[in-house]
Amino acid sequence: MLRHPTDERTRRAMLLLFYAQSGVSLVAAALLVLLHVGAQIDRVALPGLLAWAVAFTVLIGLRARWKRQAAQLPETINPTAWERRAELGALLTGVLWAAALVMAFDAQQRATQMYAAMLACVTCVASINVMAPQPRAFVMLIAPVSATLITLFLSLGGWGGAYSALLVLAAIGLAMSLTLRHARLLRESHAMRFEREALLAQAQAAREAQTRFLAAASHDLRQPVHALGLLAAQAAHELQGRRAAQTAEQLQAMAQALDGLVEGLLDVSRLDSGALQPQCRSVPLQPLFERLSTEYAVLAEAKGLQWRLRPTALWVRSDAQQLERLLRNLLSNALTHTERGGVLLAARRRAGRVQVAVWDTGPGIAPEHHERIFQEFVQLTNPGRDRKRGHGLGLAIVARLARLMEHPVALRSRLGRGSCFAVSLPEDAPRLLTEPRTVPQGQPLQGRCVALVEDDEAVREATANLLRTWGCEVWADAAVTPLLARLRTAGARPQRLISDWRLGEGDGLSAITVLREAFGDGLPALLISGETLPMSAKALRALRVQPARKPLPPAALRAWLSAPSEAPGKPPSGQHAEPHSEPH
């Protein structure tokens, strides 16, 4: 145990701990020196006593200087020299205390013998905690003190002196045992700390690798799905009235199913990786309920179900976007599994919180499946994996969002009667709501000039062809510089700007800025991304840029294109605003 640790980090940590703790022992040593001088000034020759005190004062000053220097040691310093300094300082301290014992000890006075023994005991015992990080230094301290005290007691002769010497030896053994045990505990503690830091670093590296993978997967998966949706929409438009139109519609349905699966998988991956962090604020439930009602009332009517919304004046503390995603998944789940009856969305106060509940009259869920349904790809009533009934990811996303925002989800269900999923949220004080502005109706697209920047050739061609089938004049290129040159040569002035976020040269926001500088700062711009944007949707809208996420439904793209320029920006239908988080 007297060897230095083999692990360099542990060795350095033990050395720094020794010097960091030495300040207390130096102060205690200075006080003890003063006390010793005061106790011995009438018994010992003054020149010798003063010389001893001055030597001790110089040593304390030297060790204090080493302490300050050690606190600023660089990471790459070799600890050997500083370990030797610690041992040298401890040895000199032990020699000076041994000299103090010789000055105080009088073979004819029992009181001086007791004083010397107590002085040695206080010196050594008080140093155990301080010098445990450097056991060799502790040995250097107690060796001269113990050897001197044992010699002084043996010089008394007789059984009393020998007995006292044996007591000193026993005390030394006990002190060394405590010091070595303390040193072992410190080494193990540092080793565990470094092991934990290494595991955390590995976990962080794995998380960063997962984030990079998600960024690439998110972009690369959405690109072909986005292109497929656009091509399917173009084919359906061109084949209207023909027998192949039904095939085109089936192709569109398949593209939408693939879109839902990709989106669900990426959502689960993002939530598991910790890439999404909630941005909680005051949220009024009524506007959120009205947005959801507008969409899900139509879906319920299409299935012949009754849709009910209970108005509420309650406010909650939550992340508005993630809460909407959570409720959308619950409502979609309810509509998917309900064949007759209806669905109810309501909120009420309960136990000091707000409970938002989604009721349905579906088949119900047996108690033994209440936990299982929140797992990925679990569909109790869809053993054939019919894509029309979803992919079994909605409730898995609900569970993850609930944990992320600390909004517990409770399930009550009766077989044959239906189910109720209730989300518990903290209530917030009501605020004053401003009236939303009415968005004017859309305008025809015939002749509308659109500038498109997209570096993926398949997506660029699919988007351009779809826009042309709608009657738009399209100028498309992989980069903004050649596109700008072509527009200027032809004398064309775009009325809408569309850009992908990730480009071969720069990014989509830079491309939009360049085109606006050339054709007007007020041009409506759509920024489409297959990954999470580094800016919040609110920040982008402040720049008059509308964010959208791939795959963008053709209907949503057409709705944005047909909206008047003065209409307030809002996400295209079916799209969710991007959260404020780092790219992943």
Q: Residue 288: name the closest of 238, 236, 347 by CA.
A: 347
Q: What is the pTM of this model?
A: 0.44
Q: Residue 480: name the closest of 513, 525, 524, 529 by CA.
A: 513
Give 86-89 contacts, CB < 8 A, sequence gap 24+.
86/15, 86/18, 86/19, 86/134, 86/136, 86/137, 87/134, 87/136, 87/137, 87/140, 88/140, 89/59, 89/62, 89/63, 89/137
Helix/strand/coil percent split, the chain, to 5: 60, 10, 30
Looking at per-residue confidence, does 240 or 580 come out higher? Answer: 240
For residue 438, pLDDT over 60 is answered with no
pLDDT of residue 241: 63
How many other CB atoms are there within 10 angstroms of residue 583's CB atom?
17
The rounded radius of gyration (Å) of the Cα atoms in the chain is: 39
CA distance linking residue 317 with residue 457, whole number of Å: 44
Mean pLDDT of 80-104: 90
Give the HSE-up count for residue 448: Cα atoms under 13 Å, Cβ half-sphere.
Answer: 27
115-166 residue pLDDT tens: 888 888 888 888 888 888 888 888 999 899 999 999 998 888 888 889 888 9
Mean pLDDT of 316-321: 88
CA distance linking residue 213 with residue 56, whole number of Å: 63
pLDDT of residue 361: 93
369-384 residue pLDDT tens: 777 777 755 555 554 4
CA distance linking residue 398 with residue 551, whole number of Å: 22
Dihedrals phi, psi of 578, to nearest 5 degrees: -75, 140
Residue matched to tokens 């401003």: 434
341-370 residue pLDDT tens: 999 999 999 888 999 999 999 888 888 877
pLDDT of residue 267: 61
Task: Pick the range with the lowest mean pLDDT from 37-41, 130-134, 211-215, 422-426.
Answer: 211-215
The one-letter amino acid code at 289 reads: F
Which pLDDT band, with edges at 50, 70 and 90, does 580 fall under? very low
Number of H helices, E strands in the chain: 16, 12
CA distance linking residue 315 with residue 319, whole number of Å: 12
User: Across all residues in the chain, what is the average pLDDT?
Assistant: 81
- Please, are residues 345 and 309 in contact by the beta-carbon 8 Å criterion? yes
For residue 278, pLDDT over 60 is answered with yes
CA distance linking residue 450 with residue 512, whole number of Å: 12
By the 10 Å C-beta count (0-12 exposed, 13-18 middle, 19+ buried), 241 is classed as exposed
Maximum Cα–Cα distance across the chain: 126
For residue 311, pLDDT over 60 is answered with yes
pLDDT of residue 306: 93
Residues in the chain, total: 584
How many other CB atoms are there within 10 angstroms of residue 198's CB atom?
11
Angle, alpha carbons 128-133-137 (nearest 5°): 70
CA distance linking residue 551 with residue 569, whole number of Å: 19
Beta strands in 30-145 (DSSP E): none
Eight-class DSSP state of 474 = E
Task: Pick the range with the lowest mean pLDDT from 61-75, 213-227, 473-487, 529-543.
Answer: 213-227
Task: Pick the range with the lowest mean pLDDT from 360-364, 441-445, 529-533.
Answer: 441-445
Beta strands in 438-583 (DSSP E): 449-453, 473-477, 496-500, 525-529, 545-549
E strand or H helix at 318: strand 315-318
**Percent over 70 (pLDDT), the chain:** 79
pLDDT of residue 581: 36
- Please, are residues 393 and 335 in contact by the beta-carbon 8 Å criterion? no
